[in-house]
Amino acid sequence: MVSRRNYFNITIMMIVLLFMFQFPEFIKESGNDYDTNEYLKNTDLNAATAWKVNEEPIKSGNHVAFFGPSDSAVCAVINEWCTYTKRNLLIYADLNDFHIEAGVMPEVILLEPSVINDDADVQLLERWVKEGMSLIFCGLPDTGFVRRSLPLRELMGIRFVNKMEQSITGVYLFKGFLLGGDIIYQANTEEEQKRQDLAQVVPWFQAAGGTKVYMVGLIDDADVENEELPMLIWRNSIERSRIFVVNGNYMEDISGIGILDAMMAEMNSYEIYPVINAQNVTVANYPGFSNENEETVMDIYSHNQQSLYRDIIWPGLLSTMDRVNLKMTCFLMPQYDYSDDEFPNSRDYTFYLKQLKEQEGEAGLSMETRTDMSLAEKAEKDDPFYSALNGKYKYGALYLETDQLPEADQLPNVRYLKNAQTLTCAYTKERPLVSYCTNNMTLQMATHNARLHTYGDNLRLRSLETALGYSNILLDMNNVVWPETDDDKWENYYEELSSNVLTYWSQFSYFSQTTLSESDQHIRTFLALDYEDSRKDNTIRLTITNRKGDAWFILRTNNERIAKISGGRSEELEEGAFLICAEEDTVEIQVEKILMQK
């Protein structure tokens, strides 16, 4: 029999335990203002405030010159790079169209290989180099011409052409060129072979003395010394001039912008340039609120679609994102297929808003559809669903298909889309990676698909982190609900995306983890600002105009580190690379030499 005293003590203990377990949950619930999007901020920055080419007369050093077709892939990359780094770009179709004027010299000359055809072209380049100009060969001229022309080889830092074509087994990127350290891209297993998408046949050039090599091809020959391996990216020096050469098509896609920034850092005693500083995760078409494709979903997962999203997919997403501290922007999808008789059910809507709030994520809206219809028709179909919610949540981010982008200017006319400030979509070369899609809405495209990370994808990741401090990982959940192959099934899809995200993005955790609306604010500042930099003795002075809030820059140095900074703060990313947060319009950075250990 329990005494009164013991009964009283047991009762008190039960009350205390109940309080201990329930009170934190009560506090969490009461403090979860889930119906508010804290990341969506009002802004007066729009396309009209974005940086534009300087209309003032061109001065020495405030522009670059490109020689080649204006409609080429290389020119598109260079134009995008110039926009992001606030450089004026002059384009010439032919080398003879350019004449050196006294006191007016480009910062660097970029060459598309098709403009170099004969000895007269080489003589012109030699004269420019003697004048102190630096060159970047964005690809190789005809290999036969390179082999025949000794002056061209001397200019490019090539001792001789070993083979016109050489099979390579992999690529070695040396440390210190792009962010992320050194890496070998070599497929030694059947699984790794799926990642191999880099060129495997290249001209084999032997480096001349004084040449600095940044990337080489690997060959299966034990007798070949490391310094004899085929050069892929390298630099030659002739007095004050630096001549960079790219052996391959690496400058024909967005990877080229990081390669150019790395080259400029190698060309000068220091290089400083603006970056976005945003690491994003786009979870497209998730969660869905209709039980679509029900027979297939039940057959594969033994759950209906809404249960699959909530009880299977959501825990997996949380597990992966928590391990790399990335924030998700989940794009809600009332319906994907409007031709069936399934209609959306908002039962789990509040659950997801609460969960996203707790995980510091954001809810956006998906505008994708399986049914052939315009954006306006899609918005009209979804209006009853959002109207019935009667919620306060303001959606700042929208996910579109790339072919829907031309219709984006219709979106602000829709009631529940009026707060949208940024769009995202799968990557397309047809548009800049980040830009204004309309006067008031930015476009920040995905940089990578989470499920497949090839060697080319990894090179692009390193390049974009170097150039912009930006990535946007795309997870498209439509693949899981409408699977076409076994790889699309969640357990396989999740294994691939989790492995890729944990392996390749964790090393860039020094950049800010953001939702799409947070990233939008960074991008607007990045696109608006202009800057000038100068150096006197050990002090680098950065002057910024049109800065709205904090702005971020990367400073690259050669054997120097930051000793003191005013007007902002800094963080060392890697040896010789620093992230600068400019809190004022003028930032002064004092650097000091790094003493080499004996």
Give the CATH class of 48-275. alpha beta
CB 39 within 8 A of CB 520: no
Residue given tokens 């192959």 in the structure block: 485
Give the CATH class of 278-520. alpha beta
Q: How many residues does the chain have?
A: 598
**Residue 28 banded pLDDT, cuts 50, 70, 90:** very low
Q: In 469-538, which ranges are continuous DSSP H helix?
A: 478-481, 490-504, 516-528
Amino acid at 589: I
Q: Looking at residue 519, what is its pLDDT?
A: 98
163-214 residue pLDDT tens: 999 999 999 999 999 999 999 999 999 889 999 999 999 999 999 988 999 9
CB 375 within 8 A of CB 308: no
pLDDT of 56 higher than 80: no
Instruction: Please tell me what DSSP assigns to residue 321.
Output: H
**Residue 415 banded pLDDT, cuts 50, 70, 90:** confident
Of residues 432, 368, 365, the one with CA closest to residue 400: 368
Q: What ranges do the domains of the chain cover?
A: 48-275, 278-520, 529-593
Q: Looking at residue 226, what is its pLDDT?
A: 87
CB 364 within 8 A of CB 397: yes
Round to whole Å and give the CA distance between 414 and 318: 32
Question: What is the rounded end-to-end Cα distance, in angstroms, of the chain?
Answer: 81
Average pLDDT on 98-127 reads 90
446-497 residue pLDDT tens: 999 999 999 999 999 999 999 999 999 999 999 899 999 999 999 999 999 9
The CA R_g of the chain, rounded to the nearest whole Å, is 28
254-300 residue pLDDT tens: 999 999 999 999 999 999 999 999 999 999 999 999 988 889 999 99
- Find the range with the poorest average confidence among 34-38, 271-275, 341-345, 532-536: 341-345
Amino acid at 324: V
Q: Looking at residue 26, what is its pLDDT?
A: 44
Average pLDDT on 564-581 reads 97
Q: Are strands 434-436 and 397-399 parallel, antiparallel or unpaired?
A: unpaired
Structure tokens at 76: 């598109």
Of residues 310, 223, 252, the one with CA closest to residue 76: 252
Q: Looking at residue 489, what is its pLDDT?
A: 94
pLDDT of 437 higher than 60: yes
